[in-house]
Amino acid sequence: MNYVSTRDKSVKVSAATAIARGISVEGGLFVPDTFPKFNEKDFENLSKLDYKARAKFVLKHFLNDFTEQEVDYCVEGAYTGSFDNEQPAPIALLGKNANILELWHGPTCAFKDLALQLLPYLLTTSAKKVAGGKKIVILVATSGDTGKAALEGFKDVEDTEILVFYPSEGVSPMQKLQMSSQKGDNVHVCAIVGNFDDAQTGVKKIFTNNEVKEKLAKNNMQFSSANSINWGRLAPQIVYYVSAYCDMLARGEELKDGFNIVVPTGNFGNILAAYYAKKMGVPVNKLICASNANNVLTDFIKTGVYNRNRDFYTTISPSMDILISSNLERMLFELYDNDDKAVAALQDSLSQNGEFKVTDEVKSALSELFWGGCCDDKATVDTIEKYFKEYAYLADTHTAVALNVYEQYVKETGDDRATVIASTASPYKFAKSVLSAVTDEKSDSEFGEVKLLCEVTNTEIPEPIAALENATARFTDICEKENMLEAVYNSLNIK
C-alpha cells in the first residue's frame, strides 16, 4: 500500500511520510491506493477481541512501513488507561435498533480522543523514520472538540509544538475553557475573529506556503496536522466502526441485511471513516449524514451541488458549524474513480467560486451511498428532551442532531433495520443547551449549569469536566484571520 494525493496521484509516499507531512505539497489529501478487505471469518475473530486488539488488526493494514512492534507500541500507549473502564467505544442500545456508539469516554469527552490519543504515537514514530530529526509543528483549526483533544494528546510530547486556532465566538464556553486552560510547555492556543472555515482556510494557506516551509526548515522544523486532513487522524476513526460491528456480532445481532450508520458531521471526516469501513467489508447499508442548520452537506447529497455561498449559522451544536467540509475531497476522489485532475478542478472551483457541481453519474453514486438530513436548534433541543423522557438517555447537542435525522430517515424510507448512531460528545460539554431541554431550572454560571444538569438528570459529571471548575485561562490571545501566520511565528519564536 502506498499513499497518493487526491490532486496529484503521481505523488506516492509511505504511511510514515503521509502522517508526518499531513498534507501533500500541492494541497491534496493523502489516501491509500488500495484498501484491505476483511471477510466474515476476520470479523468473527475480531468480535472475540478487545478494542486494542481490533485496532492493531485494522491499523497494521494501513501502516505499511511500521513494524508490528511499532503498531503495538502506538495502540497500547493510546488506549491503555485513557478511557473509562478501558472501553473507548461502548454501545448503548435504545429500543430495538438504535445502537448509540458512545465516543466520548476519553480525556476530553469527545470523539476526537479516539484518534488524537493515538496520533502523537503515530506521528512521532513516523517522524523518526522520515523527518530527519526536525521538530514537528502541528497546526490545528478547530470548531471545538479537535482543539482540546489535540492539545491533550500532544502536550509535552518530545520534539513537537502544537498551535490551535479556534473561532472566538464559535465554540461553547466549556470548549473554550478546555483549550484556554491547557497545560503543557509545547502548546499554544489562539482565537481568531471569524468562523471555523476562516480558521481552516488560514491553516491550509500556511501549510502550502513554500516561503513559510523554507523558513521553518531553516529552524529545523516542519509542519504537520492533527486535523482529519491527516491520514493518521482518520485511520483510527475507521477502527470504531469496525469495532461497533464486532460488538453487535458478539451480542448475537442478526445482521444479514446489514445495518445503517448515522453520523453528525460538518467536516465529513467521521462519516468518511464509516464509508471506508464499508469499503473494507463492514456490511453497511446506508450512510446517513446528519447536519445542523449549516446544511451544506445535506443539500450536496440531495442535489449534487456543493455551495458554500450561504448564510453561516452559529448553533448550539458548534462542532458542526462548518461550510467547507475538507474531507469531502477524499470522497470525491473515490466517486471520480481516483481522477485527480477532476478533483483538483472541483477544489479550484470551490476556492474561486464557492461552489462546484458533480456529474450526474457521481450524483447517482453519492445518493446510493448516502442519505442526508438536517435539523435546526429547536428540533435539536426537542430531541434531547424526547430521548431523555422516553429512554432516560441524555444526549449532547450533536448526538441529538443525529437522532433527529435518524428519525427523519426511518419515517421517509421505512428502513428501520439495526442502526449505529455516532454519539460524539458528552452532554456536559454543552450543559446550558442540554439543561434547557430537560428542565426550566436555570443557573447563572457555567459550572452551576453543569451541577444542575447532574442533579436534574441523575447522571454523572465526567471527571475531565469536573476538573475544569477551578481552571484558569493561560491563553487569551485573539487575532484577525489575516494575522494567523504572525501568530504562528510568535508562538515558535521565529523572526
DSSP-derived pairing of the beta strands 221-225 and 98-102: unpaired
- Say if residues 21 and 208 touch (Cβ distance below 8 Å): no
φ/ψ region of 281 (left if φ > 0, alpha if ψ in -120 to 50, else beta) reads left
Residue type, 73: Y
- Say if residues 231 and 31 touch (Cβ distance below 8 Å): yes
Phi first, then psi: give them for residue 419, nearest 5 degrees.
Answer: -140, 135
φ/ψ region of 194 (left if φ > 0, alpha if ψ in -120 to 50, else beta) reads left
Three cell numbers, residue 348: 479550484
Write down the residue that cell numbers 484577525 correspond to: 480
If one counts every other C-beta atom within 10 angstroms of the C-beta of residue 438, the result is 18
Alpha carbon distance 134, 128 (integer Å) = 9
Check 9, 56, 112, 286 and give the catalytic one: 112
- The answer to whether 112 is a known catalytic residue is yes
Helices 431-438 & 377-391, crossing angle to 10 degrees?
60
- Say if residues 366 and 335 touch (Cβ distance below 8 Å): yes
Q: Name the residues annotated as catalytic.
A: 112
